[in-house]
């Protein structure tokens, strides 16, 4: 079974985000970029399926600028066999990414598409669901456990009330949650081998799609700084402040 693992280039989660002085966007100057953490989990799960003999090939895919090839090489070092880069300098929203992935699903015919449930930059949690709608494939979102049994896939999902297990027929789409696994670290020999693994570069035009965003970014600003706390002398004073100043109780 071929597994298509979609990944995204994001600002490293350890980096403190800065906004440009003109509030036009996030400042990416000299900022460390990394593989989206949820995407790492998706790649790790694909690799584990291959180690179990369930998957025969893992294809890492991303949509983004030329620099995103760095994150594809990371996915290759983690265990993917080859990569496909849909190269564009446009700001890609969820629907644009889903359209590109849908065309690659047509071309590659994978038995499973696995991707992170969301990216830590836009935090939209949309691409997997949109991809399922475009391809007509069954989907299991927020997966905390994945089991392949013959031509079916059992996905344990994290929901508000606890856990829900759904059974899907393959091919299918899975989006990964944090508790699915703990990604491995890429070893130096694997990082070196990744440099020689094949990477196919395509343009949106070659796929017959447009990925340019239909959303206009008007302004970006940092959240307001939190006010310092105060000590109160009694329960009555606390209740009074919660009622009249914070206005969180009535």
pLDDT tens string 30-68: 889 999 999 999 999 999 999 999 999 999 999 999 999
In whole angstroms, what is the distance from residue 90 CA to residue 70 CA?
Answer: 18
Question: Could you tell me if residue 250 is inside a domain?
Answer: no
Given a contact cutoff of 8 angstroms between Cβ atoms, the answer to whether 116 and 37 are in contact is yes
Question: Could you tell me if residue 132 is inside a domain?
Answer: yes
- % of the chain surpassing 70 pLDDT: 100
Question: Could you tell me if residue 246 is inside a domain?
Answer: no
- Full strand arrangement of the beta sheet holding 139-149: 162-169, 152-159, 139-149, 172-176, 112-116, 2-6, 57-64, 82-87, 199-202
Q: Can you give the residue range of the structural domain that contains 122?
A: 2-223
CATH number of the CATH domain containing 120: 3.40.50.620
Higher pLDDT, 172 or 250: 172
Q: What pTM value is reported for the model?
A: 0.86
Question: Could you tell me if residue 162 is inside a domain?
Answer: yes
In whole angstroms, what is the distance from residue 238 CA to residue 224 CA?
Answer: 24
Question: Could you tell me if residue 232 is inside a domain?
Answer: no
Domain count, the chain: 1
Question: Could you tell me if residue 98 is inside a domain?
Answer: yes
Is the CA virtual torsion 84, 87, 91, 97 positive or negative? negative
Question: Could you tell me if residue 239 is inside a domain?
Answer: no
Q: How do strand 2-6 and strand 112-116 relate by DSSP bridges?
A: parallel
Question: Could you tell me if residue 149 is inside a domain?
Answer: yes
């Amino acid at each position: 079974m071929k597994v298509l693992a979609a990944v995204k280039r994001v600002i490293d989660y350890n980096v403190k985000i800065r906004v440009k002085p003109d509030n036009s966007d996030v400042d990416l100057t000299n900022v460390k970029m990394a593989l989206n953490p949820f995407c790492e989990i998706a790649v790790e799960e694909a690799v584990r399926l291959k180690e179990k003999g369930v998957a025969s090939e893992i294809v890492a895919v991303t949509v983004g600028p030329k620099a995103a090839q760095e994150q594809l090489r990371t996915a290759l070092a983690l265990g993917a066999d080859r990569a496909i880069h849909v190269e564009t300098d446009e700001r890609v929203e969820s629907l644009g990414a889903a359209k590109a992935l849908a065309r690659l699903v047509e071309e590659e015919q994978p038995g499973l598409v696995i991707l992170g449930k969301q990216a830590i930059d836009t935090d939209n949690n949309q691409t997997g669901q949109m991809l399922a709608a475009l391809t007509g494939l069954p989907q299991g979102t927020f997966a905390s456990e994945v089991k392949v049994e013959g031509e079916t896939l059992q996905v344990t999902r994290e929901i508000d009330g606890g856990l829900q297990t759904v059974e899907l027929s393959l091919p299918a789409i899975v989006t990964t949650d944090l508790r699915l696994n703990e990604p491995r670290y890429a070893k130096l020999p694997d990082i070196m081998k990744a440099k020689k693994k094949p990477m196919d570069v395509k343009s949106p035009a070659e796929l017959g799609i447009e990925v340019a965003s239909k959303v206009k970014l008007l302004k970006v600003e940092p959240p307001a700084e939190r006010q310092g706390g105060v000590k109160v002398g009694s329960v009555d004073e606390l209740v009074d402040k919660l009622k009249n100043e914070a206005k969180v109780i009535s």
